[in-house]
Structures are given as C-alpha cells and as structure tokens.
Amino acid sequence: MTAATPCLRHWRGWVEAAQADAWLERLRQEVPWKQESIRVYGRRHAMPRLTCWMADPGCGYRYSGLENAIEPWTPLAAAIRRRVGEAAAQEFNSLLLNYYRDGRDAMGWHADDEAELDPEAPIASLSLGASRTLRFRPRQRGTAPTLAVELGHGDLLLMDPPTQRHWQHGLPRRLRVETPRLNLTFRRVRLPA
C-alpha cells in the first residue's frame, strides 16, 4: 500500500546564509569530486553531476550498479554530520555528496532503498547553493499525487521511513539555473552485528 504522502520534515534556512555560503565554497574546493559513468542500454554515459561517497570504514554502498570508493570524512563534513545528526536524532555513518554544476545537471527518479541502507533510519538531505525542485512520485504510479519540494540554500529535509519504500524522488533539470548546488544526503549503512 502507498502512504498518501511521503514522510518529510523540511526546515527552510536551517543553516543561516553566511554559514551556508562558507560551507558551499569549502566543500566545492576540498571534496574529491568525481564524475562517474553509468551504463544505460549497453552504452556508457557520464553522470550529469559530480559525486563523492564519504563514510566510516566498512560502509560501502552501491547504486546505479557502481561500487563507490569510500572517502574519509573531511573535518567540515564531519562537523556537519554532527549537527545534522543532532537535528535528526540519528547517528549517520555515511554521506553521499552531489554537485550540480548548473541547471543542466540533474538526478533521475529513484528511491534510496538499497539493501545496504538501514530502512528504519531517516535520510537527511542538506542543500547548499541554487534552489532546485525535488519531486516525489508514488512507486505505484497513479495511487497518490506527485509532490514538489523547493529546496533552497541552507535547507534541511528529513525523509523518514517508510518514504523510500513507497516513493521515488528525482531532481529534474532546470535550464535557467546557472549557479551550482550541492546536496548532502546523510545515511545509515547497516553494519554486520
């Protein structure tokens, strides 16, 4: 059964603007960004964004068929993890960073429901830079209306369970956007007991 709406908690301007500006600039410069490629119908395509997977040792993660190399936490990413973890009352052990260089960069429809992720933990998403729209649609198409959430500079969005089970999300292109955006999604990878 599809929940009627995704379970979201959205704090606009969770980070105040000057702090968000400083985080945006530092992360752009110091994160080891990569442009991965994905295979679609047998052909390789460059992903329309740059990415980095930062995580505690042992927290590997595959998505779009890619095994992500684990990068160590930078001091700034570790400090942001602490603050986001307090807001979400959750200990996150991993972080996917996405760098959308301008409005041509985007992310397709998907759910963050890979087997490695703890389905009981929220996913916390911090946005820095250009405003973009995150869209949600039910996985069982037509069972609930789609939803659009405008994510601005410094916004924090918590996606609580069972959102990933019932909903997909995606970030469409917005061609008039000429400035960059970073998105940080803090996650909880399941570790062997």
Ligand X SMILES: O=C(O)CCC(=O)C(=O)O
Q: Which residues bind ligand X (CB under 6 A)?
A: 96, 98, 107, 112, 125, 134, 151, 169, 171, 183, 185
Q: What angle (nearest 5°) sits at the alpha carbon of residue 73, between those of residues 78 and 46?
A: 120
Question: Three-state DSSP class for 82?
Answer: helix
Nearer CB in complex with ligand X: 1/115: 115
Closest approach of Cβ 98 to ligand X, in Å?
5
Nearer CB in complex with ligand X: 112/163: 112
Q: In degrees to the nearest 10, what's the CA dihedral of 95, 184, 102, 177? A: 160
How many CA within 13 A on the CB side of residue 84?
30
Closest approach of Cβ 182 to ligand X, in Å?
8
Closest approach of Cβ 3 to ligand X, in Å?
18
Q: Which amino acid is at 11?
A: W
Nearer CB in complex with ligand X: 148/193: 148
Nearer CB in complex with ligand X: 95/144: 95
Q: Using N-to-C axis directions, what is the helix angle for 17-30 and 75-88, rounded to 10°?
A: 130
Closest approach of Cβ 114 to ligand X, in Å?
10
Residue of this chain nearest to ligand X (CB atom): 183
Quick one: CA dihedral 1, 110, 68, 43, positive or negative? positive
Nearer CB in complex with ligand X: 94/144: 94
How many CA within 13 A on the CB side of residue 30?
13
Closest approach of Cβ 80 to ligand X, in Å?
15
How many CA within 13 A on the CB side of residue 145?
2
